[in-house]
């Protein structure tokens, strides 16, 4: 992935690797950018985590256009993918 800048602050985003996925992160905390294929890899890793842990957790649902973002809270991470961007 070529170097990109944050659309909000103009700072060069830092590329990080999470498993096989590459994610560009704004160092000022304005957000992340990743390719669709990398999002798919993260969803697969999340579902694997749910399948392979002894916890009673549910895999991620399919993302649809009518979904709304959950409210922000200070809760402990319930899933591996939550730890990537926090």
In a domain, 35, yes or no: yes
In a domain, 23, yes or no: yes
Residue-by-residue pLDDT tens, the chain, 86 positions: 578 999 999 999 999 998 889 999 999 999 999 988 999 888 888 888 777 766 666 666 777 778 777 666 665 667 777 777 66
In a domain, 32, yes or no: yes
In a domain, 72, yes or no: no
- Which residues are bridge partners to 14 per DSSP? 25
Q: Quick check: pTM over 0.75?
A: no
The rounded Cα 50 to chain-centroid distance in angstroms is 15
In the structure encoding, which two tokens stand for residue 9, read together? 């602050």
Number of domains within the chain: 1
In a domain, 82, yes or no: no
In the structure encoding, which two tokens stand for residue 37, read together? 């294929």
* Structural domain span for residue 22: 1-55
- For tokens 């399919």, name the residue: 62
């Amino acid at each position: 992935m070529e170097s990109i800048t944050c659309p909000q602050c103009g700072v060069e985003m830092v590329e990080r690797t999470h498993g096989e996925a590459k994610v560009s992160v704004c160092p000022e905390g304005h957000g992340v950018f990743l390719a669709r294929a990398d999002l798919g890899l993260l969803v697969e890793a999340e579902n694997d985590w749910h399948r392979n842990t002894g916890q009673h957790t549910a895999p991620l649902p399919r993302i649809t256009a009518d979904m709304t973002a959950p409210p922000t809270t200070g809760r402990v991470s319930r899933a591996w993918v939550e730890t990537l961007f926090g």
